[in-house]
Amino acid sequence: MIQATGLVKYYRDGDREVRPLDGVDFRCERGEFVLILGRSGSGKTTLLNILGGLARPAQGSVRVDGKEILTLPDTECAALRSRTIGFVFQFPGLVSTLTAGENVVLPSDLVGAKSGEGDAARRAAQLLEVVGLAGKAGRFPSRLSDGELKRTAIARALMNRPAVILADEPTADLDAETERKIMELFSRINREGTTIVMVTHNTDLIPYASRVLCMENGKLSPA
Amino acid sequence: MSWFIVKSIIRRPARNGALMFAFAFIAASLFSGSYLLSGAGDSVQSGISRLGADLIVVPENSTAESEAVLLQGSPSTFFFDSGVVAGIENISGVAAVEPQLFIATLPATCCSMSIQLIAIDPARDFTITPWLADRQQQPLGKDEIIVGSSLPARTGTTLFFYGHPFVVAGKLDPTGTGLDMSVFIRTEDAYTMANESKETAVTPLQLPPDAVSAVLVKLDDPAETANISARIARDVPGTRVLSSSTLVSTVAGQLAGTTRLLSLAAAVATLVTLPLVALVSAMAVHERRREIGVLRALGATRVTVFRLVLGEFLLVAAAGAFLGILVSLGLLLLFGRALALALAVPLALPGLTSLLPAVGTAFGATVAVGGLAALFPAIQATRMEPYEAMRSGDI
Average pLDDT over residues B344-367: 82
**Distance (Å) from the alpha carbon of B323 to chain A's nearest alpha carbon:** 24
pLDDT surpassing 50 at residue B42: yes
Q: Which of B290, B299, B302 sits opposite A82 (nearest CB)?
A: B299
What is each CA distance from B137 to B129, B130, B133, B388, in whole angstroms? 9, 9, 5, 83
**Average pLDDT of the residues of chain A:** 89
Least reliable range by pLDDT among A215-219, B190-194, B273-277: B273-277
Mutant choice from B1, B16, B298, B392 vs A, greatest count of A C-beta within 10 A? B298
pLDDT digit string (tens) for A197-220? 999 999 999 999 999 999 988 899
ipTM (interface pTM)? 0.89
Highest mean pLDDT among A21-25, B104-108, B263-267, B388-392: A21-25
A72 touches chain B (CB under 8 A): no
The H or E element spanning position B58 is: strand B55-59
**pLDDT-based confidence at residue A37 (cuts at 50, 70, 90):** very high
Domain borders along chain A are 94-160
Contacts of B1 in chain A (CB under 8 A): 109-110
Q: Are B181 and B116 in contact (CB under 8 A)?
A: yes
- Classified as helix, coil or strand, B216 is strand
With CA atoms as reference, the chain A residue closest to B388 would be A55
Show the DSSP H helices in chain B as ranges: 2-10, 13-51, 63-72, 83-89, 129-134, 187-200, 225-235, 244-287, 289-297, 302-343, 352-383, 386-391
Contact A78 B296 (CB under 8 A): yes
Exposed (0-12), middle (13-18) or buried (19+): which is A133, by Cβ within 10 Å? Answer: buried
Q: Which residues are within 8 A (CB) of B211 and not within 5 positions of it... i.e. 6 or more apart?
A: B79, B82, B101
Least reliable range by pLDDT among A16-20, B15-19, B174-178, B277-281: B174-178
pLDDT digit string (tens) for B106-154? 765 555 567 888 898 888 888 777 777 777 677 788 999 998 888 888 8
Contact A54 B3 (CB under 8 A): no
Predicted local distance difference test score (pLDDT) of residue B55? 85
**A77 phi and psi, to 5 degrees?**
-65, -40
pLDDT surpassing 90 at residue A130: no
Predicted local distance difference test score (pLDDT) of residue A177? 85
Q: What is the dihedral sign for C-alpha A183, A187, A188, A189?
A: positive
Q: Which of B290, B298, B390 sits opposite A110 (nearest CB)?
A: B298
Contacts of A92 in chain B (CB under 8 A): 395
Helix axes B2-10 and B13-51, enclosed angle (nearest 10): 100
Which one is predicted more confidently, A221 or B1? A221
Q: Which of B11, B290, B298 sits opposite A106 (nearest CB)?
A: B298
**Distance (Å) from the alpha carbon of A20 to chain B's nearest alpha carbon:** 15
- Rg of chain B taking only CA atoms, in angstroms: 29
Q: Return d(Cα B332, Cα B324) in angstroms, integer.
A: 12
Q: Return d(Cα A124, Cα A185) in angstroms, integer.
A: 16
B3 touches chain A (CB under 8 A): yes
Q: Which residues pair with B190 in a beta bridge?
A: none
B295 touches chain A (CB under 8 A): yes
**pLDDT-based confidence at residue A61 (cuts at 50, 70, 90):** very high
Domain borders along chain B are 2-44+250-391, 55-242
Residue B123 gets which letter from DSSP?
T
* Amino acid present at A152: T
Predicted local distance difference test score (pLDDT) of residue B132? 74
Q: Are A186 and A167 in contact (CB under 8 A)?
A: yes
**Distance (Å) from the alpha carbon of A7 to chain B's nearest alpha carbon:** 16
Predicted local distance difference test score (pLDDT) of residue B108? 54
Average pLDDT over residues A95-117: 82
Least reliable range by pLDDT among A141-155, B55-69, B211-225: B55-69
Average pLDDT over residues B193-201: 86
Longest dimension (CA), chain A: 56
Provide the whole-model pTM.
0.71
Q: Which of B11, B294, B299 sits opposite A93 (nearest CB)?
A: B294
- Classified as helix, coil or strand, A7 is strand
* Amino acid present at A74: D
Predicted local distance difference test score (pLDDT) of residue A115? 45
**pLDDT-based confidence at residue B311 (cuts at 50, 70, 90):** very high
A141 touches chain B (CB under 8 A): yes
Contact B301 A97 (CB under 8 A): no
With CA atoms as reference, the chain A residue closest to B2 would be A109
- Classified as helix, coil or strand, B336 is helix
Q: Return d(Cα B153, Cα B129) in angstroms, integer.
A: 20
B291 touches chain A (CB under 8 A): yes
Q: Return d(Cα B27, Cα B238) in angstroms, integer.
A: 46
Which one is predicted more confidently, A112 or A165? A165
B389 touches chain A (CB under 8 A): no
**Distance (Å) from the alpha carbon of A107 to chain B's nearest alpha carbon:** 6
**pLDDT-based confidence at residue A110 (cuts at 50, 70, 90):** confident
Q: Return d(Cα B65, Cα B366) in angstroms, integer.
A: 41
Q: Are B159 and B108 in contact (CB under 8 A)?
A: yes
Residue closest to A87 by CA, chosen among A28, A149, A156: A156
Contact B386 A55 (CB under 8 A): yes
Contact B304 A92 (CB under 8 A): no
Predicted local distance difference test score (pLDDT) of residue A117? 60
**Distance (Å) from the alpha carbon of B368 to chain A's nearest alpha carbon:** 26
Q: Which of B298, B304, B385 sits opposite A107 (nearest CB)?
A: B298
**Distance (Å) from the alpha carbon of A204 to chain B's nearest alpha carbon:** 26
**Average pLDDT of the residues of chain B:** 83
**pLDDT-based confidence at residue B395 (cuts at 50, 70, 90):** very low
Q: Return d(Cα B310, Cα B287) in angstroms, integer.
A: 16
Residue closest to B258 by CA, chosen among B21, B29, B27, B28: B29
In total, the C-beta contacts within 8 angstroms joining chain A to chain B are 80
Contact A81 B298 (CB under 8 A): yes
How many CA atoms, within 13 angstroms, populate the side-chain half-sphere of residue A65? Answer: 11
Contacts of B385 in chain A (CB under 8 A): 54-56
Q: Are B115 and B139 in contact (CB under 8 A)?
A: no
Which one is predicted more confidently, B250 or A183? A183
Q: What residues 78-117 of chain A have any CB closer than 8 A to a CB of chain B?
A: 78-79, 81-83, 87, 89, 91-98, 102, 106-107, 109-111
pLDDT digit string (tens) for B86-103? 888 889 899 888 898 888
Exposed (0-12), middle (13-18) or buried (19+): which is A18, by Cβ within 10 Å? Answer: middle
* Amino acid present at B49: S
Longest dimension (CA), chain B: 98
Predicted local distance difference test score (pLDDT) of residue B344? 64
Predicted local distance difference test score (pLDDT) of residue B50? 67
**pLDDT-based confidence at residue A182 (cuts at 50, 70, 90):** confident
Least reliable range by pLDDT among A126-135, B172-181, B190-199, B313-322: B172-181
The 8 Å CB, 24+ separation contacts for A175-180 are A175/A147, A178/A146, A178/A147, A178/A150, A179/A204
Contacts of B299 in chain A (CB under 8 A): 78-79, 81-83, 107, 110-111, 160
Predicted local distance difference test score (pLDDT) of residue A120? 85
